Amino acid sequence: MHPVLTRLFDELDRSTRPLPLGELRRRLKSLRLDRSMFARAVRFGRSCYRRNLLHSGPAYQALVLCWRSGQRSPIHDHRGSACALRVIEGVATEIIFEISPSGSLYPTSTEHVDAGSVRASWDLDIHQMGNLQAAGHDLITFHIYSPPLLAMGTYFLGNSVLGEDDRAISALIRQRTRDKIAPRGLSVGQEVRWATAGPLLRRGAHSRRRQTRA
């Protein structure tokens, strides 16, 4: 393992209690890191992003997450854990979500996070991370979870019931596709989905304690 990472983990291993979010963020921001330092943990998945365990201590886990173009995490939280991450290579896209008074999930912001930037979130913060760069551009992120992340709550944006006008438009598009006549802005064979925010799998109070880009 690279000496910089060895020193980091030796220091973190001294703690037996969960590490504060601010400390995790400060440590990741202070280090000089590049892809070569994580060589043995850089492994990609074919159909989805891959989580690679780098080191585990009494109060934390350190992972390297590898993402090909188009790969994204589920919408999730970090039940009971603090998480700080640093982008090692590429550009990450983070979408932050909130729960509406009706109990539905909705996005509040989207940010592109460049290499060298640090992000941090805690407990029931809800977000989605992904690599939305063009094909051939990889994303590598370095994460520290404290305490170790044992469970994540996952969420989804459900489909609403189509209204009468929506059904009529959908039927027209299907007919034109069958006739191989592409309507303006829609290519032949393109799938059309009508998706809006729907009920959550889990409802309940949600408090945000987010630390944004350092």
Query: How does pLDDT run across 89-102, given as a tens digit for each residue?
Result: 999 999 999 988 88
In a domain, 66, yes or no: yes
Q: How far apart are CA 132 and CA 165, in angstroms?
A: 32
In a domain, 175, yes or no: no
Name 22's Cβ contacts closer than 8 Å, sequence gap at least 6: 211
Give the per-residue pLDDT at 108.
94
Give the per-residue pLDDT at 49.
94
In a domain, 63, yes or no: yes
In a domain, 201, yes or no: no
Give the per-residue pLDDT at 177.
59
DSSP single-letter state for residue 189? T
The answer to whether 130 and 93 have CB atoms below 8 angstroms apart is yes
The answer to whether 97 and 155 have CB atoms below 8 angstroms apart is yes
Give the per-residue pLDDT at 3.
95
Which residues in the chain come in under a pLDDT of 50? 181-214
In a domain, 75, yes or no: yes
Structural domain count of the chain: 1
Give the per-residue pLDDT at 211.
45
Domain span holding position 117:
3-155
In a domain, 210, yes or no: no
Give the per-residue pLDDT at 162.
65
Give the per-residue pLDDT at 116.
95
In a domain, 183, yes or no: no
Give the per-residue pLDDT at 170.
66
The answer to whether 62 and 9 have CB atoms below 8 angstroms apart is yes
Give the per-residue pLDDT at 160.
63
In a domain, 176, yes or no: no
CATH number at residue 55: 2.60.120.10
> Both ends of the chain: CA-CA distance in Å?
26
